[in-house]
Amino acid sequence: MQVTSSTSSSTVTSTSSSGGTDNASQIAALQKQLRQLTQQLKDVANSEGDAKTKQKRAALLQAQIQVVQAQISALQQQQQQEKTDKAAKVQQSKPATANSQSQQAQKKKDEQNALGQQIDVYV
């Protein structure tokens, strides 16, 4: 008896940091692949063949599932990091403008107060 099994495995890696949409589409593709691998794992349990072959096939599929899960996790972390970086960049640009306006107002106030303090009164 010969047992033949075919495994389709594709690896999606992100080499660009173009962000959001690219990562989202890669994550969606990996999630689809994860569902397929999970289904194949279920099919192995219900398939005909000896226990040793089934066990090897299941182990292979579980390893592939772990790889895909790790890729999804990495892409999600990259996506979150890009969001954090973008938010930090926006946050850094806002206080700079607010700070400069605040500093100008304080400087003007200090100049006005300084004029009154420069007058010596002699009696």
pLDDT digit string, tens, across residues 58-92: 999 999 999 999 999 999 999 999 999 988 888 88
Across 33-50, average pLDDT: 93
pLDDT: which is higher, 21 or 123: 21
pLDDT score at 92? 82
Stated pTM of the model = 0.59
DSSP state at residue 50: -
Domain ranges of the chain: 17-81
Q: How confident is the model at residue 2 (pLDDT cuts 50, 70, 90)?
A: very low
CB 22 within 8 A of CB 16: yes
**Tokens representing 76?**
């999600």
- What lies within 8 Å, CB to CB, of 41 at 6+ separation is 58, 61, 62, 65
Q: What is the pLDDT of residue 22?
A: 87
Token duo for residue 23: 């990562």
For residues 36 and 86, the model is more confident at 36
pLDDT given at position 40 = 95
- Would you place residue 120 in the very low, low, confident or very high pLDDT band (cuts 50, 70, 90)? low
**What is the pLDDT at residue 79?**
92
Work out the number of other CB atoms within 10 angstroms of the CB of residue 70.
Answer: 11
Mean pLDDT taken over the chain? 77
